[in-house]
Amino acid sequence: MRLYKFIFKILFCCVVSVSNVVQAGDIYGALHQAVIDDPRVLSVRSNLQALQVEADGSISAYLPTVRGNGSAGKLNNSDPLSRDGTKSVYGLDISQPIPLFGHESTRVDLAHRVLLVEEAEVMRMEQSVLFEILESLLEYSMRKEILSVREKQVVAMSEQTSAAKKSLEGGGLKATESTMIQSSAIRTNVLFAQAKADFSIADSKVRQYFPDGIPLIHDMAVFLNYWPVLLSRESAIDAALLSSPSLLKAQAAAEQTQAEYAVAKTDLFPKISINLQWQEGSFGDASADSWGFFLNLDAPLYEGGANFTRSKSAAFKSSAAKESARHEYWQLLKRIEGAWISWKASSDMAQVFNETETLDSNVVSLTQDLLSAGAATRISFLQAQQSLFETVLKGIEYRWLRDVTYVRLLHESGLLSLNSAN
């Protein structure tokens, strides 16, 4: 009965952490705060805000330019044909572009295309940081579980070593069997020390994201349900084609270069504007009042081929960006395929080890009964017990791998977003 309770504790500690557990909503809030406080996210968000201001201001290409001018002073002139005396004038100069040939519209469109690229970059950075945080948090939980099991393994081996020593002294155990138990105890202590080191590394890594306390995941299935559930490879691909930040950024970059090409082409055409000038004042004893209305034409007749070269270069850049977007499309499909296969394989292995844990637990119980009846040796019991420990540890690792690969699948599908939680 004591052994049964001990085995139950081992299996229980692998599923639920009994200390410092917070609710799923609190975990999500902590993740959200960790992402928005990350320096990389703050940087790209600041860039986005700057480009948003520029995009909002691009409408000024359609609006008139109004300038005020004025001067006051005195001029002494010995030329009898020129004026002299006190001069005091002020006025306005208004220039209104006439939106022909696309000079204004293409520049406004370009400003918004640049903004779309940065919006996609913000999405990409947020999801990358979130994946990085989740990966470190899952590893922390996994290392904590392994350390707990290794610690119980050391305790069990210590009990076995003491029992073996007494049995050896009483003649109930061979010296070779006692040596094997001592050797296993040494190996167990070494693995426990390694588990402590691995946990310490994982702990320091995750604390950089959660300086106020590390949130623990009570139920992984419930936690992952915060994001859309991917039931098939096809659903993952469909989601990625709509939401993948890397694909959206590549497509937006292609549209940006196309907009740059459109701007370059408009430079080959003239600019037309209306100019209104008004002035009022005096110069000497004469009035200096005046007004004027002009239609201005600025046509690029010859600039050494600079405008044509810019246009041709922009066309090649646009073509290159389109090909890059196509390449990202195919690469995304490959990444989704790989992530899906990895997740399915690790899920199957996790299920296998869940079932194996139950079987090994039954074997340990049976061997305990046989040992009590004198039908089994302490070595056989020790081997069964160690087999259970190793199965539990393998199960922890495969459940961790299953969860990490699923989070990666969400990441590649573009669904690991702060805004896509259910």
3-state secondary structure of 286: strand
3-state secondary structure of 74: strand
Establish if 114 belongs to a structural domain.
Answer: yes
Give the whole-angstrom CA distance, residue 28 versus residue 180: 48
CB 401 within 8 A of CB 350: yes
For the segment 270-296, what is each residue's pLDDT rounded down to a tens digit? 999 999 999 888 877 778 888 989 888
Q: Using alpha carbons only, give the angle 76, 81, 84 rounded to the nearest 5 degrees.
A: 25
Q: Using alpha carbons only, give the angle 83, 89, 94 rounded to the nearest 5 degrees.
A: 125
For the segment 302-323, what is each residue's pLDDT rounded down to a tens digit? 888 888 898 999 999 999 999 9
19 alpha carbon, distance to own chain's centre: 29
Q: Which residues pair with 97 in a beta bridge?
A: 273
- Using a cut of 0.85, tell me whether the model's pTM lies above it: no
Residue 293 is encoded by which pair of tokens? Answer: 């209305």
Give the whole-angstrom CA distance, residue 282 versus residue 286: 6
Residue 34 is encoded by which pair of tokens? Answer: 């960790």
Torsional sign, CA 372, 378, 380, 382: positive
Residue in 90, 92, 87 with CA at minimum distance from that of residue 77: 87
User: What domain range is 143 assigned to?
Assistant: 2-62+105-269+309-412
413 burial via Cβ count (<10 Å: 0-12, 13-18, 19+): buried
Establish if 147 belongs to a structural domain.
Answer: yes
Residue 128 is encoded by which pair of tokens? Answer: 């990358």
Establish if 356 belongs to a structural domain.
Answer: yes
Establish if 76 belongs to a structural domain.
Answer: no
- Specify the pLDDT at position 9: 40
344 alpha carbon, distance to own chain's centre: 23
Query: How many independent structural domains does the chain possess?
Result: 1
- Specify the pLDDT at position 12: 38
Q: Using alpha carbons only, give the angle 222, 129, 418 rounded to the nearest 5 degrees.
A: 50
Query: CA separation (Å) from 176 to 165, 170, 180?
Result: 12, 15, 6
66 alpha carbon, distance to own chain's centre: 46
Has residue 377 got a pLDDT over 60?
yes
Establish if 118 belongs to a structural domain.
Answer: yes
- Average pLDDT of the segment spanning 174-185: 77
pLDDT classification of 19: cutoffs 50, 70, 90: very low
Establish if 94 belongs to a structural domain.
Answer: no
Establish if 20 belongs to a structural domain.
Answer: yes
Give the whole-angstrom CA distance, residue 279 versus residue 294: 15
CB 238 within 8 A of CB 162: no
- Specify the pLDDT at position 173: 66
Give the whole-angstrom CA distance, residue 140 versus residue 88: 78
Give the whole-angstrom CA distance, residue 75 versus residue 114: 52
- Average pLDDT of the segment spanning 135-155: 92
Establish if 74 belongs to a structural domain.
Answer: no
Q: Which residues pair with 110 in a beta bridge?
A: none
pLDDT classification of 81: cutoffs 50, 70, 90: low
Has residue 416 got a pLDDT over 50?
yes
| CATH code for position 194 | 1.20.1600.10
